[in-house]
């Protein structure tokens, strides 16, 4: 499952991530293009009990979330 939040300002990236994690998916990839979105989505995912792996991309970061 991929969630593209590029171009969105806070709190929209967290809202979009929450919608997906609320369906209890095992794994999701979130694309972000601001530090605020990277940090906030990481915080949300950890609070929702997902592990977070951050990878740099050409225009931001890709966050790999896995259910703990």
Q: Which is nearer to other proteins, 1 or 15 (CB)?
A: 15
In the complex, what is the shortest distance from the CB of residue 10 to other proteins, in angstroms, rounded to a whole number?
5
In the complex, what is the shortest distance from the CB of residue 6 to other proteins, in angstroms, rounded to a whole number?
14
Rounded Cα distance between 68 and 60, Å, is 25
Task: Give me the half-sphere count of Cα atoms (radius 13 Å) on the Cβ side of residue 17.
Answer: 34
Q: What are the backbone angles phi and psi of residue 34, rounded to the nearest 5°?
A: -135, 155
E-strand ranges in the chain read 2-4, 27-32, 50-57, 60-67
Residues that bind other proteins (CB under 8 A): 9-11, 14-15, 18, 34-36, 39-45, 47
In the complex, what is the shortest distance from the CB of residue 25 to other proteins, in angstroms, rounded to a whole number?
17
Q: Which is nearer to other proteins, 11 or 27 (CB)?
A: 11
């Amino acid at each position: 499952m991929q969630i593209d939040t590029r171009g969105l300002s806070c709190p929209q990236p967290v809202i979009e991530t929450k919608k997906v994690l609320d369906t209890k998916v095992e794994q999701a990839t979130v694309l972000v293009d601001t530090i605020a979105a990277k940090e906030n989505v990481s915080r949300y995912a950890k609070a929702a009990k997902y592990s977070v792996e951050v990878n740099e991309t050409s225009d931001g970061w890709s966050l790999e979330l896995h259910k703990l």
